[in-house]
A and B are shown apart, each in its own frame.
Chain A
Amino acid sequence: MLKTLISRLPMLVLLASLTTLAAPAAQAQVNPTASSVQEQELMRALQTGDFVAGRVSIPDERAGALIKPGNKGWAGIQGTTLRVISVAAVLVTLTILAAFYAYRGRIRIDSGFSGRVIERFDGIERFGHWLLACSFVVLALTGLNFVVGRWTLLPLVGEDTFGTLSAWFKLAHNFMAWPFMLGLVWVFVTWVGRNLPSKVDVNWLKVAGGLFTRGLHPPAGKFNAGQKLLFWMVILGGVGLSYTGVFMLFPWLAGSPAEWQTYQVIHALFAAFMSVVIFGHIYIGSLGMQGAFSAMGSGKVDLNWAKEHHSLWVEEEVGHGKGAAGKPGAAATPAE
């Protein structure tokens, strides 16, 4: 027994000395106080839009993002700021339009209906317009539901119905986006040539198109400066909405979540802007002006309306010999 122990003594000594030697090194490596990562430090070192991330063993690598404090910033903007801006924009515009109607009333044809019509927009133009218009109205209303539905529609119809309706609205919003984009391209191709700025527009803008002055009708071509502004606002707004909207449809095309959030904010702001613009457009094209709607309805407008609002265009059309062809015998009438 003793002999065995003595024979093993060198080995024990060796083991003991090894342990003593190894101990300090091992301690330095696993000292958790000195080297562990601290949540507080990581959070302090974060750049804006950045997040605390690590490795995960599940296949979805995106799950490696542990804490994304920046998301709360977007949540604040989307949850409050954008809703307030959208609602305010709509209400302010409606108030302004009501005030304008009270001040100016319906803008009538000063010289009355002539009874003779002239073709203003052909089928191709009207199809493009209504394709864009109908899809926009559906998109605007379903989009508005995402903004204020939970405070307006939800209390009216109850949670079950609201959930079902909103799911359909979301589908409508997703799928009507495509006709909207087609309409946008259509309208751009058909009308861009007529919407380039010209010298007449300066004068038209100086007198605000006679909007605030009875009987004043500054000369204008097929589109006056106001309509040209509308055209470019619709094109720019529409492109902005379409471009950012594609990222709403395909979120991972946007790259990082922070980029998607930026696109979402732009989408909401453009939507509010476009709604304001289109409110004005609908007003002046229907209630606000006598004789205007038929331009997009039947495609034909009264000759007197055309002479007052688009004098240069009428001259051009009559010059081409196709003006005032709406009624038999019109061509026989001598030019005044």
Chain B
Amino acid sequence: MARMKFLCDADRCIECNACVTACKNEHEVPWGINRRRVVTINDGLPGERSVSMACMHCTDAPCAAVCPVNCFYTTDDAVVLHNKDTCIGCGYCFFACPFGAPQYPQVGNFGTRGKMDKCTYCSGGPEADMSQAEYVKYGANRLAEGKLPICAEMCSTKALLAGDGDIIAEIYRERVVTRGYGSGAWGWRTAYGDTVTV
């Protein structure tokens, strides 16, 4: 089994936000929730970079550590998923996540936030693969269809890479060596404890 990761090559990202839109479309994501977003660092300054960010599917995921109801689980592909039937919408995972991935359909107070929603690495939830129940709660299950996440697959500049961590790290390393520069594998140190060294 692969150890799935995301890697955004910020030197290629052109902030077109197509990954954000494709994700929302693929999974019928509720209004107000962005499972993926593009953040521009040093906007308008020389050397600005845009980074597409979603759940990084961390090693030893902090969301899973703080969850009072243990609704998170890690798949064989090292994708961090959660069970919306168990989730109580307490909001702890939002405060534990370094990447702002967990979001809630309502911003209401009094614990009326609803079930948490986040990037599933296009691999659904605990329901049967590609079932209607799974689709309604979590969206499409592309991994079960043998495909990679839609955000990375349709990225026009191939800035966003998804796949086995070792393979995408190697692709990124080759790029950095060839062109002579790279702004880093954003979030890797925080999510996986190490980064891509060139």
A52 CB within 8 Å of chain B:
yes
- Say whether, besides A39-B185, A55-B43, A249-B109, A150 and B53 are in contact (CB < 8 Å): no
A49 CB to nearest B CB, Å:
12
A56: Cβ under 8 A from any B Cβ:
yes
Q: Does A235 contact B (CB under 8 A)?
A: no
Q: Is the CB of B95 within 8 A of A72?
A: no
A177 CB, min distance to chain B CBs, angstroms: 10
CB–CB B69/A63 < 8 A: no
- Nearest A-chain residue to B42, judged by Cβ: A37
Interface pair B37/A79, CB less than 8 Å apart: no
Fill in one digit per residue for A168-198: 1 if any B CB lies within 8 Å of its CB, else 0: 0011001100000000000000000000000
Say whether B37 contacts A56, CB under 8 Å. yes
14 contacts between A and B (CB under 8 A): A36-B49, A37-B183, A39-B187, A58-B20, A58-B37, A63-B37, A66-B187, A67-B99, A68-B99, A72-B190, A163-B87, A163-B88, A249-B109, A251-B91
Other A-B pairs beyond A40-B195, A75-B63, 19, CB < 8 Å: A39-B189, A54-B42, A55-B39, A55-B40, A56-B39, A57-B15, A58-B34, A65-B100, A67-B98, A68-B99, A74-B66, A78-B65, A78-B92, A79-B66, A150-B69, A159-B70, A160-B86, A163-B88, A249-B110
Residue among B39, B53, B83 with max Cβ neighbours from chain A (10 Å): B39
A75 touches B65 (CB 8 A): yes
Give CA–CA (A146, B181) in the complex, Å. Answer: 47
B111/A174 in contact, CB under 8 A: yes
A-B pair count, CB < 8 Å, reads: 171
User: Which parts of B26-66 form the interface with A (CB within 8 Å)?
Assistant: 32, 34, 37-43, 46-51, 53, 62-63, 65-66
List, in ascending order, chain B residues with CB within 8 A of A174's CB. 110-111
On A, residues with C-beta under 8 Å from B are 29, 32-40, 42-43, 52-58, 60, 62-72, 74-76, 78-80, 145-147, 149-150, 154, 159-160, 162-163, 166-167, 170-171, 174-175, 249-251, 257, 260-261, 264
A54–B46 contact, CB under 8 A?
A: no
Interface residues of B (CB under 8 A from A): 10-11, 15, 17, 20, 32, 34, 37-43, 46-51, 53, 62-63, 65-71, 83, 85-92, 94-100, 109-111, 180-181, 183-187, 189-190, 195
Closest Cβ of chain A: how far from B56's Cβ, in Å? 9
Q: Is the CB of B62 within 8 A of A72?
A: yes
B86 and A57 form a contact (CB under 8 A):
no
Assess the B68–A145 pair: CB atoms within 8 A.
yes
Is A69 a contact of B190 with CB atoms below 8 Å?
A: yes
